[in-house]
Chain A
């Protein structure tokens, strides 16, 4: 098990290296002179030269990459071109809201989607099944920002239960945090929830046809126990895989959700950085997101051990 974890962690190195190459090339593959793009439309030749010097763009590419990588490994992602602040500091400031938003989204989505999927599979073909699947199609097909505005309209304007926008740190006020995070988490969770519910339903339908489910019923167990203990536990490996892979949806959704709800997180930082062509910040955010994704999927793989005794690492 530990050997496996170490092997997997070592395996993340080449993955992250490839990501690093792509992230580095981002600046250089963009059409035109990066320095000119960064400097903007009304820059003088002198300013462009200065930026080029500042970014080391006059050096050969491999030297640029080498020094960028060495800095990166030392935790230095460079400075924001816009504010001049270190990228690590900018990301650190914005990490908490995004982290909390993602965690709350996953929590809400998983605790709602799995029971919905189980019930849909159990009641397959009935109106309950159709209702859950309709909801899932809705979650899949309606854009995140539309769901966001609909929730604001309903939850904030009509009912007045939640604030329209903004964010309160959980360290400052727990009720404040909860009231601010609910709508964004539901918004961001819609697609994710739809994905997990569909996967849960499909896997459960398969598992419910297995002989051991019949054995469980033949023992005289109640339906709920058969569904949860016997069927769901068997379905958990594919479901947790989906949970892991679906995080990619969240990363995309975070950017939109944070914009809709004016949450000062990494998503907003990304949007702002893109609008200002602040390449070092964009690179930093992409690296953080990719690393989280890779690490999270390692955790998911490890979680299989909890569900299936046949899996040994």
Chain B
């Protein structure tokens, strides 16, 4: 596919040699519920370097959002608890940080933007008020200085007439504009890490492209590390430097974006790629076939099977898969996957 060669041509935008800015090790986020322990994130490790876009992919309920909320420690405890793990950021473990220390990190060093810009902005506070809040809190600026900085931020995210917008309220802005405001808000304290949880899912396609372009521009300008959580593989191909595929709270595959699209090693990753509808001008019957889907649903996280969590839905599953969870191993250089059968999978074509 031409798309794939385009991916290969893209040089690494990240500082390949730089130390990771955020390093998550063996994170286990469990929820104690009446039905038992929900292992929403179960032994996840990953890291991001400055200026890198790491894409976390998976179906709904695979633990993507819980991962990001764990990093921000925005989960109510209880029911949530961290059964193990470290979240290393600037030399300290965020899981050991006090609530007050976390408040200094949130919105300042690590920021987050959310899926639905319609509901993520407070409807009764002006844009200026919401933007300056974090600036005044973290940077100790006066109201007036903060307003100036807020206007600059709106300018950075290409919102025309920023001064006027500052006085407006969210309901006076379109969805795309609101997401720009969210991005401006998240970037206002120049964070090292930006977590974007499905930032374009709720937007029109044309607006999606604009927001994605904006995020790339920001990354290039500010060298922010971006964790992009999405279920949209189109977005992944467009944006990511590296891709992490999650299934039922665990990492099942991780590789550079070109590598993973060229040689997916896990049947689940392949399934995800096959279930993306493609634009085509070929309307022959062969192309009109039904979009392939992954049979079944994500297993209940309270009662995970003993073996591979994907085995039940996998066409290649063997007895070993059903008995023993596969280790996460390098299948190719710099390409991790957790699958016993990856060597036996058929050659990959879409």
> Which A residues are closer than 8 A to B by beta carbons?
210-212, 214-222, 229-230, 233-234, 307-310
8 more contacts with CB within 8 A, not counting A216-B133, A221-B103, are A211-B119, A212-B119, A215-B122, A219-B107, A219-B134, A230-B125, A233-B122, A309-B169
In the docked arrangement, what's the CA distance between A229 and B125, Å? 9
What's the nearest-Cβ distance from chain A to residue B300, in Å? 24
What's the nearest-Cβ distance from chain A to residue B104, in Å? 7
Q: A210-B119, A214-B114 are in contact. Are A221 and B133 (CB under 8 A)?
A: yes
- Whether B342 sits at the interface, judged by CB under 8 Å, is no
Partner of B106, one of A211, A217, A234, A309: A217
- Whether B185 sits at the interface, judged by CB under 8 Å, is yes
- Whether B45 sits at the interface, judged by CB under 8 Å, is no
In the docked arrangement, what's the CA distance between A220 and B109, Å? 10
In the docked arrangement, what's the CA distance between A241 and B83, Å? 45
The answer to whether B107 touches A218, judged by C-beta atoms less than 8 angstroms apart, is yes
Partner of B123, one of A214, A219, A220, A308: A308
What's the nearest-Cβ distance from chain A to residue B127, in Å? 11
In the docked arrangement, what's the CA distance between A215 and B116, Å? 11
Residues of the A chain whose Cβ atoms lie less than 8 Å from the Cβ of B74: 214, 217-218
The answer to whether A219 touches B106, judged by C-beta atoms less than 8 angstroms apart, is yes
Partner of A220, one of B104, B119, B121, B125: B104
Residues of the A chain whose Cβ atoms lie less than 8 Å from the Cβ of B122: 212, 215-216, 230, 233-234
Residues of the A chain whose Cβ atoms lie less than 8 Å from the Cβ of B114: 211, 214-215, 218
Q: Which 10 A-B pairs have the closest CB atoms?
A: A219-B107, A220-B106, A220-B107, A211-B119, A212-B122, A219-B134, A309-B169, A211-B120, A220-B103, A218-B112
Residue of A whose beta carbon sits closest to that of B168:
A309
In the docked arrangement, what's the CA distance between A216 and B121, Å? 9
Task: Name B100-158 residues within 8 Å CB distance of A.
Answer: 102-108, 111-112, 114, 116, 119-126, 133-134, 137-138
What's the nearest-Cβ distance from chain B to residue A217, in Å? 6
The answer to whether B123 touches A212, judged by C-beta atoms less than 8 angstroms apart, is yes
Residue of B whose beta carbon sits closest to that of A306:
B124
Q: A212-B119, A215-B114, A219-B137 are in contact. Are A307 and B124 (CB under 8 A)?
A: yes
In the docked arrangement, what's the CA distance between A308 and B120, Å? 16
What's the nearest-Cβ distance from chain A to residue B215, in Å? 17
Residues of the A chain whose Cβ atoms lie less than 8 Å from the Cβ of B106: 217-220
> Which B residues are closer than 8 A to A by beta carbons?
72, 74, 102-108, 111-112, 114, 116, 119-126, 133-134, 137-138, 169, 171, 182, 185
In the docked arrangement, what's the CA distance between A210 and B118, Å? 11
In the docked arrangement, what's the CA distance between A216 and B72, Å? 12
Residues of the B chain whose Cβ atoms lie less than 8 Å from the Cβ of A234: 122-124
What's the nearest-Cβ distance from chain A to residue B14, in Å? 24
What's the nearest-Cβ distance from chain A to residue B109, in Å? 9
- 10 contacts across the A-B interface (CB closer than 8 A): A214-B74, A215-B114, A217-B74, A218-B74, A218-B114, A219-B137, A220-B108, A230-B122, A233-B124, A308-B124
Residue of A whose beta carbon sits closest to that of B126:
A309
The answer to whether B138 touches A212, judged by C-beta atoms less than 8 angstroms apart, is no
Q: A211-B114, A218-B112 are in contact. Are A310 and B120 (CB under 8 A)?
A: no
Residue of B whose beta carbon sits closest to that of A307:
B124
The answer to whether A220 touches B105, judged by C-beta atoms less than 8 angstroms apart, is yes
Residue of B whose beta carbon sits closest to that of A213:
B122
Partner of B124, one of A214, A220, A309: A309
In the docked arrangement, what's the CA distance between A207 and B55, Å? 31
**Most A CB atoms within 10 A — which of B74, B133, B138, B169?**
B133
In the docked arrangement, what's the CA distance between A210 and B106, Å? 18
Residues of the A chain whose Cβ atoms lie less than 8 Å from the Cβ of B123: 212, 234, 308-310
In the docked arrangement, what's the CA distance between A206 and B182, Å? 22
Residues of the B chain whose Cβ atoms lie less than 8 Å from the Cβ of A221: 103, 107, 133-134, 137
In the docked arrangement, what's the CA distance between A307 and B112, Å? 27
Residues of the B chain whose Cβ atoms lie less than 8 Å from the Cβ of A217: 74, 106
What's the nearest-Cβ distance from chain A to residue B80, in Å? 14
What's the nearest-Cβ distance from chain B to residue A214, in Å? 6
Residue of A whose beta carbon sits closest to that of B68:
A218
Residue of A whose beta carbon sits closest to that of B117:
A211
In the docked arrangement, what's the CA distance between A210 and B122, Å? 9
**Most B CB atoms within 10 A — which of A214, A220, A307?**
A220
The answer to whether A310 touches B171, judged by C-beta atoms less than 8 angstroms apart, is yes
In the docked arrangement, what's the CA distance between A233 and B171, Å? 16
What's the nearest-Cβ distance from chain B to residue A240, in Å? 13
The answer to whether A233 touches B107, judged by C-beta atoms less than 8 angstroms apart, is no
What's the nearest-Cβ distance from chain A to residue B82, in Å? 18
In the docked arrangement, what's the CA distance between A210 and B119, Å? 7
**Most B CB atoms within 10 A — which of A215, A217, A229?**
A215
What's the nearest-Cβ distance from chain B to residue A225, in Å? 8
Residues of the B chain whose Cβ atoms lie less than 8 Å from the Cβ of A215: 114, 120-122, 182, 185
In the docked arrangement, what's the CA distance between A216 and B108, Å? 13
**Most B CB atoms within 10 A — which of A216, A222, A307?**
A216
Residues of the A chain whose Cβ atoms lie less than 8 Å from the Cβ of B116: 211
Q: A214-B74, A215-B121 are in contact. Are A220 and B137 (CB under 8 A)?
A: yes
The answer to whether B72 touches A218, judged by C-beta atoms less than 8 angstroms apart, is yes
